[in-house]
Structure 1
Amino acid sequence: MSYSVAVAGASGYAGGELLRLLSQHPEFRVTTVTAFQNAGHFLHEVQPHLRSYGQLVLQPTTPEVLSGHDLVFLALPHGTSGELTAHLGDDSLVVDCGADHRLSDAADWAAFYGGEYFGAWAYGVPELPSAGGKQRSALVGATRIAAPGCNASTVSLALAPGIAAGVIDERDLVAVLAVGPSGAGKSLKVENLASEILGSANPYAVGGSHRHIPEIQQALRLAGATAPTISFTPVIVPMARGILATSTARIAPGVSAADIRSAWESAYADEPFVHVLPEGKMPRTGDVLGSNTALIGLAVDEAAGRVVTITALDNLVKGTAGAAIQSANIALALDETSGLSIDGVAP
């Protein structure tokens, strides 16, 4: 069976990555692409690497243009997709790559985003440990899916197994991330100019102000936490894409190093896209470039009484577009891995 697909926000980084992956999907057929300022231009004029889409023209991003497709992916700025989705019929599966439908608490939305709250959809991190199993079960048959924030899903996948198994304390969680500037989108921002980031590591949203914090806490509550606290610090580094997250937690009393490794390995043993590396091995962002794979390295700092996880993923694939397609595959009862690769690109 072939599903007709529309991609809104096709001129941006997330939209372009969706289209790159969708071009290899055996069941999804992209028929419509939309944009705002670039409407009327050929897709290849703004995404010159997407040669397989031939003469596809970017159309205006309106409910009328997006309606009537089997599947709609939204790769739009925060606060934009919520207004559109209210006008899309229930006959379409809609996957939002923005933040508008990720948070289940309206107070969190008001505190970290502001503006109208549009309600929560099924959260698109299939591998996330949750009560009684995995978040995957919530995606089966879903018609509305919120793809995750890339930083949020990286940290959540890194820490959730320990929360679910009760081997780490949910308080005093710490995460420091090296991230590529593509995660901030394609819009011109002075702080993301090459002259600002080349040869420099630039922290931002320091001191509990980053918008992904409530999303991480929400995911950890799904895994069994009650009131998790986390210090979260992202740092822009000069690589176009990728996340390397160092996430640490206090070890629960009486828990051994073997217990900790067992918790993570058991959580992801059967997952096609989340892999726990052997003891002593740590991942690099280069190992996952272009893939839908998250690699997790695990260590125990006995002197500090903390578990240390190092997680690498491609923010545009596993962090955004790949997660969106993987979740859509599950919702439509397709092979979860369709159109997605576990292999990266090297060098």
Structure 2
Amino acid sequence: MTYSVAVSGASGYAGGEILRLLAQHPDVEIRTVTAHSNAGQPLAVHQPHLRSLAHLTLQETTPEVLAGHDIVVLALPHGQSGQYTDALDEVPLVIDAGADHRLRDASAWQQFYDGPHHAPWTYGVPELPVGGGKIRDSLVGATRIAAPGCNASTVSLSLAPGVAAGVIDSSDIVSVLAVGPSGAGKSLKPHLLASEVLGSANPYAVGGTHRHIPEIRQALEDAGAADVRISFTPVIVPMARGILATSTAPLAADATDADIRAAWEAAYADEPFVQLLPDGHFPRTADVVGANTALLGLAVDRSAGRVVVVAAVDNLVKGTAGAAVQSMNIALGLPEGRALTMNGVAP
């Protein structure tokens, strides 16, 4: 069976990456691409690298245009998906790459976002431990999927195994992330101009204000944490793609070094797209460019009494589009890795 797909927000970075992955998917046909201010223009004007899709023209983003497909993927700014998802009841599978359907707690949504809170959907991070299993189990046959926030899923994948195994204390987490500006989208913003970013490292959303914080809390609570407190500081650095997240948390009093490493090994031993590197090895963002892979390095800092996890992902692939396609595959009963690669691009 070939599934018809419509992608909204197709002129942006996330939409373009979703299209790049789906273009090589043997079970889907990309029939419709939509945009807002760029409607009416050829897709190739905004995504010139997608040569196999150069015949497509961006249409208006309306429920009428999106309806009638087997799959609709929304790659829209936060707060804009809900107005469309409410009108797409008859579409068999809808995937939202924005934040509108990620959070269960309406008060957390109101604290960090604007507009009405919408019903939570199945979270699109298959490998995350939850309730003695993985989120993957909930994705089988899902009809509504919320793709993750890139920073949130990176930190959650970094720490959830330790939470689930009870070898770390989730009440004192510190995460500092080096992130590429593509995670902020394609709209022109003065602080993301090359002249502002090149040769500099720029912190933002400091002091507990970043929108991915409640998403991390929710994921770690689902992994078994009773109390999640996190100091989360992202820093924009001059690389187009990538996240390098360094997360630390106190060790449980009786956890041995072997116990700690075993928790992460057990969680990800059979996961092709989340890999724990050998002891003493740590990832670089360059190792995951273009890949649907999260690479983790783990260290136990006994002098500080903390575990240190360094994670590298491509924010546009494993952080967003790859997670969406991987979750789509699971929901449809297709091979999970179809149209995805664990191999990065080098140099």
Q: Same fold (TM over 0.5)?
A: yes
CA distance in 1, matches of 2:211, 2:170: 19
Q: Which residue does 1:12 correspond to in 2?
A: 12
Q: Which residue does 2:175 correspond to in 1?
A: 175
Query: Any idea what SS the aligned residue of 1:244 has?
Result: strand
CA distance in 2, matches of 1:311, 1:228: 19
CA distance in 2, matches of 1:315, 1:56: 26
Q: Which residue does 1:330 correspond to in 2?
A: 330
CA distance in 1, matches of 2:195, 2:210: 24
Tell me if structure 2 keeps the 8 A contact 1:97–1:320. yes
Tell me if structure 1 keeps the 8 A contact 2:39–2:59. yes
Q: Which residue does 2:84 correspond to in 1?
A: 84
Deviations 1:3-62 (A, max 9, x none): 000000000000000011111111111000000011111110111111101311100000
Q: Which residue does 1:109 correspond to in 2?
A: 109
CA distance in 1, matches of 2:89, 2:82: 14
Aligned-pair CA distance for 1:329: 0.4
Please tell me the residue identity of whatever aligns with 2:262: S
Tell me if structure 2 keeps the 8 A contact 1:8–1:76. yes
CA distance in 2, matches of 1:90, 1:255: 50
CA distance in 2, matches of 1:54, 1:201: 36
Alignment of 1:1-347 (within 5 A): 1-347=1-347
Deviations 1:130-189 (A, max 9, x none): 002001111111110000000000000000000000000011101000000000000010
Tell me if structure 1 keeps the 8 A contact 2:96–2:145. yes
CA distance in 2, matches of 1:244, 1:46: 28
CA distance in 1, matches of 2:126, 2:335: 13
Please tell me the residue identity of whatever aligns with 1:42: P
Deviates more, 1:151-160 or 1:46-55: 46-55
Tell me if structure 1 keeps the 8 A contact 2:43–2:53. yes
CA distance in 1, matches of 2:115, 2:338: 36
CA distance in 2, matches of 1:122, 1:157: 16
Query: Any idea what SS the aligned residue of 2:271 has?
Result: coil
Tell me if structure 1 keeps the 8 A contact 2:67–2:90. no
Query: Any idea what SS the aligned residue of 2:307 has?
Result: strand
Aligned-pair CA distance for 1:272: 1.3
The sequence identity of aligned pairs, in percent, is: 70
CA distance in 2, matches of 1:126, 1:239: 27
Deviations 1:231-280 (A, max 9, x none): 00000000001000000010000111111100001000001100000000
Give 4+ residue runs of structure 1 displaced > 2 Å after superposition.
89-92
Query: Any idea what SS the aligned residue of 2:220 has?
Result: helix
CA distance in 2, matches of 1:161, 1:107: 27
Aligned-pair CA distance for 1:310: 0.3
Tell me if structure 1 keeps the 8 A contact 2:48–2:54. no
Please tell me the residue identity of whatever aligns with 2:148: P
Please tell me the residue identity of whatever aligns with 1:116: P
Query: Any idea what SS the aligned residue of 1:266 has?
Result: helix
CA distance in 2, matches of 1:265, 1:90: 41
- How large is the RMSD of aligned CA atoms in angstroms? 0.6
Tell me if structure 2 keeps the 8 A contact 1:68–1:92. no
Please tell me the residue identity of whatever aligns with 1:294: A
Please tell me the residue identity of whatever aligns with 2:123: Y
Deviations 1:169-211 (A, max 9, x none): 0111010000000000000100000000100000000000000
Please tell me the residue identity of whatever aligns with 1:92: P
Tell me if structure 2 keeps the 8 A contact 1:106–1:119. no
Structure 1: stretches of 5+ with no match in the other structure: none
Please tell me the residue identity of whatever aligns with 2:140: V
Please tell me the residue identity of whatever aligns with 1:94: V
Query: Any idea what SS the aligned residue of 1:182 has?
Result: helix
Please tell me the residue identity of whatever aligns with 2:84: L
Please tell me the residue identity of whatever aligns with 2:4: S
Structure 2: stretches of 5+ with no match in the other structure: none
Query: Any idea what SS the aligned residue of 1:207 has?
Result: coil
CA distance in 1, matches of 2:203, 2:237: 9
Query: Any idea what SS the aligned residue of 2:219 has?
Result: helix
Aligned-pair CA distance for 1:103: 0.3
